[in-house]
Amino acid sequence: LLRSKRRWVLSTIELQEEMEVEYPFKITTVKNYIITGQSLTFVISGDGVHDGLFSIDDVTGDVYVHKKVDREEKEIYHITFDVWDESANTKMDRELSFDVQVKDLNDNAPMFTNIMKIVSVDENTAEGFLPASMEFKDKDKEKTINSTVSISVVSQNPAEPKINVTQIDDRMARLTFKGCFDYDKAKQFKVKVTASDHGKPPLSTTEVITLNIVNKNNNAPKFKQKQYEVEAVEMTTHDDILRIAVEDKDAPNTDGWKAKYYFISGNEEEIYSLRTDPKTNECILSVVKEKNYNQNTLVNLTIGAENVEPLSICKDNKLIKDPKLLPPPDSVNVTVKMLDTNDAPVFEKYTDEVYQVEESEPGQVLYTPKVQDIDSPNVRFVMVEDPAGWMSLDEKTGKITTIKKMDRESPFVDENNIYRVVFAAIDDGTPPATSTCTIKVHLKDINDNTPKLVNSSMIFCDNKVIKIMVPAEDSDAEPYSGPFIFTLTGDKTLKRLWKLDPSLERGNYSIPLLIQDKQNMIGHETLEVEVCDCGGGNACVRTINPLSTNVSDAAIGTISLGLLLFLILLVIFVCNQPKRNFQSFEDQGQQSLIHYNEEGMSVDCKVS
Ligand SMILES: *[C@@H]1O[C@H](CO)[C@@H](O)[C@H](O)[C@H]1NC(C)=O
Ligand SMILES: *[C@@H]1O[C@H](CO)[C@@H](O)[C@H](O)[C@H]1NC(C)=O
Ligand SMILES: *[C@@H]1O[C@H](CO)[C@@H](O)[C@H](O)[C@H]1NC(C)=O
Ligand SMILES: *[C@@H]1O[C@H](CO)[C@@H](O)[C@H](O)[C@H]1NC(C)=O
């Protein structure tokens, strides 16, 4: 404290931390040069006063510290002074204060605040930084030598590769190395690092970092055998015909151990495939494409192996990754004997078409096959499909001959007029091999079907209608089918009945008909007609006494029926057919027919 213009003048009192002295220890004396001779009392308050660290002798003004102070706990204590006149109980001067500055000692060693003590390092790590970093700190006064820290590697085991440390800033450092790791030589490294301050003398802390080397691919797969032989049958695919084993010194089931196989040569046609058995790491060879060989054939395959993970090796303390600088991958030779089997006969054509007019005379040669068989030339032929039984097949030559007339209207002929014949060629190999050939016989239509009634019996409801339509059909196609010409045939009684007889009674009638198609092909048909009362429906009403109806009504009906049936047949199909010879009806009912014609039909139509 210095006097100046009657004021308390303060400065900073320095106090060494951790002082080894007897306590309480006097650190200063407060004096007042202005006020003397009076009974004064000195009082302090502030940091460290209440808890008894600092005290003042109220008479002498001596200020004491009562125990060691620690700068790292508190560096500056702010203390306030007062001087009192005891008798007057008044403050003598203005309240003033001073600071106690605690001086640093190098009493703290550096600490590692964040350090990775166990670190995994990939074997193939390139030289430079390691994934091992550390943070450190020294609690002594910052920016002095007592808190300035240097990190160094003091020892390592094993000694190679050389591990070092790079200090990134004043609180972080990282391990580095030169050279390469070889898992097979050393799986673990112990690295002792020291953090040391620059105090005099320096203080330091030591830690051990463990580096665990992670095995990477530094061993290529090696084939256990250099040559393999295996057999496979031609024209079949076959999974897993051969297993080829490799040895790999890397840790099992890692990508550095897992093998990948590839063809170096011999599989240009991609007949074979390779894959890896995930459990055993073996190479599995398969045949994936069918190929025909004319004789037993040896196929030479060269197969290479490498690992899933690229190879890198540590040689002369240098990491080698470039494939050009690495030793070439191992390879193996496999000879596959492809066994020729009995190949089936080969038809020049496996389906063929022939054209034939239906109903032609049998005995015609329809087809002669051309067949080749390289390995067993004795071929015989058998019929496989001839549903209508129209063909015969020469067992030696395969020649197909018709033995029956072929009918286009047969149910075995499809809607496109095609009849399918399938036959097989069988060779004499062991076992015999078979090929089949399909012949499509296109049948040309001829007029071989007569027209037929669609329904050969009909009901004539004489209480409701005066005519019925009589449909006919012909299985032939144009121009061998309709329109048709209908003619009544049969004896005179029948003709009379269906023409004019007014006494036609209800009952069942058989009406022989002659139906001609467009080409005048005649079909003889009989139409059964039941004449009856249908009531309100379309079927005959069966009464106990069918003859009890009004006679005159029935008579008119039957006349009409006779007329109409006849006329429908004629008029529909005759008009455009001027030259027709119908059965003659001259004797009966001429006038009735003319009469009808005048009323309802064209005058151009002439009906005899
Ligand atoms: C560092 O500590 C020493 C005692 O170990 C002391 O003498 C010195 O003054 C301190 N240095 C600083 C810059 O505080
Ligand atoms: C594999 O066969 C080739 C010739 O096809 C030969 O040059 C090579 O030495 C053989 N390799 C082994 C391992 O036998
Ligand atoms: C044929 O006629 C009878 C009687 O008129 C009838 O019951 C039958 O259903 C008809 N059949 C066909 C196929 O039209
Ligand atoms: C006509 O034929 C049908 C069945 O074909 C029969 O039920 C009916 O009794 C016959 N009618 C006469 C009159 O004979």
HEC-encoded secondary structure of 193-261: EEEEECCCCCCEEEEEEEEEEECCCCCCCEECCCEEEEEEECCCCEEEEEEECEECCCCCCCCCCCEEE
Measure 259 CA to ligand 2 centroid, in angstroms: 21
CB 281 within 8 A of CB 186: no
Interacting residues of 544 by C-beta distance below 8 A, sequence separation 6+: none
pLDDT of residue 517: 75
Decide: 455 in ligand 3 pocket, CB within 6 A. yes
Look at 89 and 382; give whichever has higher pLDDT.
382
Taking the C-alpha atoms of residue 483 and residue 514, their distance in angstroms, rounded to an integer, is 14
Measure 456 CA to ligand 3 centroid, in angstroms: 8
Taking the C-alpha atoms of residue 515 and residue 487, their distance in angstroms, rounded to an integer, is 6
Measure 133 CA to ligand 1 centroid, in angstroms: 29
436 within a domain of the structure (yes/no): yes
Same-domain pairing of 273 and 127: no
Task: Quickly state the pLDDT bin for 608 (edges 50, 70, 90).
Answer: very low
Output b/e per residue, 86-107; b: 16+ Cβ within 10 A.
eeeeeeebeebebbbebebbbe
Taking the C-alpha atoms of residue 219 and residue 251, their distance in angstroms, rounded to an integer, is 10
CB 14 within 8 A of CB 103: yes
In this structure, what token pair is assigned to residue 510?
């058989």
Which CA distances in Å does 83 have to 1, 13, 52, 59, 260? 14, 19, 19, 10, 94
Question: Lowest mean pLDDT: which of 282-291, 400-409, 509-518, 536-545?
Answer: 536-545
Residues of the chain with pLDDT > 70: what percent? Answer: 81
pLDDT of residue 32: 62
Same-domain pairing of 169 and 308: no
Average pLDDT over residues 315-341: 88
Please identify, among 399, 428, 444, the residue that sits at the C-terminal boundary of a domain.
444
pLDDT of residue 491: 63
Same-domain pairing of 332 and 352: no
CB 505 within 8 A of CB 498: no
Same-domain pairing of 332 and 356: no
Q: What's the predicted TM-score (pTM) here?
A: 0.51
551 within a domain of the structure (yes/no): no
Please identify, among 214, 234, 252, the residue that sits at the C-terminal boundary of a domain.
214
- pLDDT of 92-115, one tens digit each? 766 677 888 998 888 888 999 999
Interacting residues of 597 by C-beta distance below 8 A, sequence separation 6+: 567, 603, 605, 607
pLDDT of residue 597: 31
Decide: 328 in ligand 2 pocket, CB within 6 A. no
250 within a domain of the structure (yes/no): yes
- Residue nearest ligand 3's atom 13 by CA: 455
480 within a domain of the structure (yes/no): yes
pLDDT of residue 497: 47
552 within a domain of the structure (yes/no): no
pLDDT of residue 507: 80
Q: Which residue has the tokens 């079907």?
A: 449
Look at 457 and 204; give whichever has higher pLDDT.
204
Measure 146 CA to ligand 1 centroid, in angstroms: 6
Give, for 596, the enclosing helix (H) or strand (E): helix 590-600
In this structure, what token pair is assigned to residue 470?
């009589």
Is it the case that residue 594 has pLDDT exceeding 60?
Answer: no
Ligand whose nearest atom lies closest to the CA of 505: 4
Output b/e per residue, 211-222; b: 16+ Cβ within 10 A.
bebbbbbbbbbe
Atom of ligand 4 nearest to the CA of 546: 13
Same-domain pairing of 392 and 293: no
Taking the C-alpha atoms of residue 218 and residue 321, their distance in angstroms, rounded to an integer, is 10
pLDDT of residue 518: 72
3-class state of residue 422 by DSSP: strand
Please identify, among 391, 424, 444, the residue that sits at the C-terminal boundary of a domain.
444
pLDDT of residue 469: 74
3-class state of residue 503 by DSSP: coil
The helices-and-strands tally (H runs, E runs) of the chain is 3, 44
547 within a domain of the structure (yes/no): no
Same-domain pairing of 532 and 483: yes
Same-domain pairing of 516 and 470: yes
CB atoms under 10 Å from CB of 165, counted, come to 22
Same-domain pairing of 143 and 166: yes
- Residue nearest ligand 3's atom 5 by CA: 458
Residues of the chain with pLDDT > 90: what percent? Answer: 31
pLDDT of residue 229: 93
Residue of 224, 302, 330, 334 to test ligand 2 pocket, by largest number of atoms within 8 Å of CB:
302
Same-domain pairing of 460 and 578: yes
CATH number at residue 526: 2.60.40.60
Give the bridge partners for 233, in sequence order. Answer: 339
Same-domain pairing of 28 and 171: no
pLDDT of residue 326: 87
42 within a domain of the structure (yes/no): yes
Give the structural domain span for 278.
222-339
Cross-sheet strand order for the sheet of 111-115? 111-115, 128-137, 172-178, 162-167
Total of domains in the chain: 5
- Give residue 527's identity as a one-letter amino acid code: L
CB atoms under 10 Å from CB of 561, counted, come to 22
Same-domain pairing of 161 and 307: no
Is it the case that residue 303 has pLDDT exceeding 90?
Answer: yes
**Of how many residues is the chain composed?**
608
- pLDDT of 222-266, one tens digit each? 999 989 999 988 888 899 999 999 999 888 998 989 999 999 999
- pLDDT of 24-61, one tens digit each? 999 888 776 555 566 778 888 888 888 889 999 888 88
553 within a domain of the structure (yes/no): no
Same-domain pairing of 401 and 252: no
Task: Quickly state the pLDDT bin for 194 (edges 50, 70, 90).
Answer: very high
